[in-house]
Amino acid sequence: MLNLYSLQFTYQLIGRMDTAERRYFRRFSNFHSGDKYYLELFDKLLTYRKEGLPPKAIRQRLLQESPKLDTLTRHLNERLLEALTFYYQTNSPDHELSKNIHRIELLLYKGFISILPKQLMRLFQRAVFEEKYDKALYVMDLLKQLWGMNLIRGKGFSAEVLFRQTKKLLDDVQKIHNAWYAAAMYAEVILEEGESVPPERIAVIDQYVERMGLSVPDSSDPLTLHFMYDTAQALRARLGGQNQKYLEITRLLVYKMEQHPKKLPFLQNRYLLALNNYLSGLLEMGNYTEAEKVLDKLRSIRPSSRLTALQRERLLIFHELNLAFVQGQGDKVAAQYEVYLDRLERTYLRTSPAYALQSYYLLAMNLYSIQDVERTWAVLERVEQGAVEMRRKDLLLAALVIRLLAAYEKGERGALRRALFHGYRVLRPLRGTRTPVEKVLLTFITEALRGKYATREAALDAFYAYLTQVVPQSELPIRRFWQVYFPLDWLEKKLSGHLGHGRGSGAGSGSHE
């Protein structure tokens, strides 16, 4: 586990800071008196980062210059974290409420009791409006303490008023919590088993959700409750194969949220997810024109925080690549290859690595669709590296299959054999832990290397039979693998085209590869 005060952490953190954050850190350090030796360490690490030096070599070099390196590193880390915390607090409306609560605590400490009741009630109403219920409960607790000290009795604050306000708040929180759990149960099934789920398991979840007593939210209910409830209903529709219903629910949810523009800056993370679900529904139904409009809407959002900006960028990359692939616009993606690589690398470890890996995979698929083999292999290297780091055997296997098909596209015997040996070296050590898909693929690779197939076309024909006959009839994990990571219809057409071309042209009469 990475130590928060280690040199390695410092090195990685500095590498992920942008120019504005580094500039703010230097200004922030001016508020501290005394010798600022940590600034010298900061400048050295920044220089080493630009040079691409490894952390081990840096530590040995710095220890020769400063025997107290560990103490200096700890001091630098404290200052970096402190500065970045202030930076985000002063640059995000999400932190405005917290700042005002801290001010109230200061006034309470200094004894300005007379002005606190109205200030606290305004803060409470603001927290409820922003749907920051943890802050609202904390403010209400301060009001109860003042009431208990007999400081606000007779000033419009009775026990009944405080009780009713708190009860309404807790009721809303409970409803939101239940709706979240319903959505989480349906989402968990999709994450674990895909969308080909036995109806019996869905029925069990339905019964549990019904016992929780969920009901359709009123127009006056919190927007967060609408989001959680509608998301649960949309996921349930998706599990039931009701794609049109899924699309209608997600479209209505986006409309509901857009009717409260003043709230959206404080609920941007939920709005982004609502747009994400709506985009998924549009792509599922093949409505690419509307999907382009939603993507433009996603681009036009002005993030309320840096974290929201990263989340938006992550979703943008994924859906841009996905939409380009399903529309056969791999050439447009190839023209912006370096741009996408830069965007992916900047968001890879700062958002969801799993989401980023799937975006890398979609980038490889776009390049492969236009037979850009060399760059397809380059991106697949990144997919395989990340899949190994995250133990995502499904993505690793997907990358291996595309690597083999890309090698066939290249049409070189040496390239195909390298791809086969690469797949063999990856799958062979997984003895005792191979999934059914991996076992079948390893068997296919082994037979190909032993020369069972006289030509490339014969090997491709065998793989085509495996894809179109074995996979759809096999057990659930295999079916889910192909549903999630391979557009089956597209891949079948591509393989069919190769086979037809080979037979029609008389190709494949040479020695086996």
Structural domain ending residue among the three candidates 91, 109, 137? 91
75 and 143: one domain? Answer: no
Predicted local distance difference test score (pLDDT) of residue 453? 80
Question: How far is Cα 403 from Cα 12, in angstroms, rounded to an integer?
Answer: 31
Domain of 397 in residue numbering reads as 392-513
Higher pLDDT, 352 or 442: 442
Regarding whether 503 and 478 lie in a shared domain, the answer is: yes
Q: What is the pLDDT of residue 473?
A: 53
| 242 within domain boundaries | no
pLDDT: is 462 or 77 the higher one?
77
Residue 192 has a pLDDT of: 63
Distance CA 439, CA 266 (A): 49
What is the pLDDT of the chain when averaged over all its residues?
A: 82
Whether residue 196 is contained in a domain is answered as no
**Token output for 42:** 């900061």
Q: Residues 6 or more apart from 189 whose CB is under 8 A from it? A: 197, 201, 202, 205, 239
E-strand stretches of 426-500: none
Burial 324-336 (b: 16+ CB within 10 A, else e): bbbeebbeebbee
User: Are 334 and 366 contacting, i.e. CB atoms less than 8 angstroms apart?
Assistant: yes
Whether 121 maps to a domain, the answer reads yes
What are the backbone dihedrals phi and psi of residue 132, each rounded to the nearest 5 degrees, phi first? -100, 80
Q: Give the E-state strand segments of 295-338 in sequence order.
A: none
For residue 129, how many other CB atoms are within 10 A of its CB? 15
Q: Specify the pLDDT at position 315.
A: 92
- Are both 85 and 125 inside the same structural domain? no
Q: Report pLDDT digits (tens) over 6-34.
A: 888 888 888 888 888 889 888 888 877 76
Tell me which of 69, 91, 113 is where a domain ends. 91
- Indicate if the pLDDT at residue 281 is higher than 70: yes
Residue 31 lies inside a defined structural domain of this protein: yes
At 282, the amino acid letter reads L
Q: Does 110 lie in the same domain as 80?
A: no
Res. 483: pLDDT tops 70:
no
Q: Which of 40-44, 245-249, 283-287, 489-493 has the lowest mean pLDDT?
A: 489-493
Confirm whether 58 is domain-assigned.
yes
User: Is 310 inside a domain boundary?
Assistant: no
87 and 100 share one domain:
no
Are residues 32 and 113 located together in one domain of the fold?
no
The pairs formed by 241-248 with CB atoms below 8 angstroms and a separation of 24 or more are 241/195, 243/281, 243/284, 243/285, 244/285, 246/281, 246/284, 247/278, 247/281, 247/282, 247/284, 247/285, 247/287
**Residue at 430 is within a domain:** yes
pTM of this structure: 0.76
- 397 and 511 fall within a common domain: yes
Same domain, 111 and 70: no
- Copy the structure tokens of residue 171: 């009721």
**Res 227: pLDDT:** 97
Same domain as 126, residue 20: no
Residue 339 lies in a domain: no
Please check whether residues 80 and 133 belong to one and the same domain.
no
Residues 23, 75, single domain; the answer is: yes
Instruction: Please state the domain count of the chain.
Output: 3
What is the C-alpha end-to-end distance of the chain, expressed in Å? Answer: 45
Q: Do 423 and 461 fall into the same domain?
A: yes
Summarize the confidence of residues 144-157 as an average pLDDT: 73
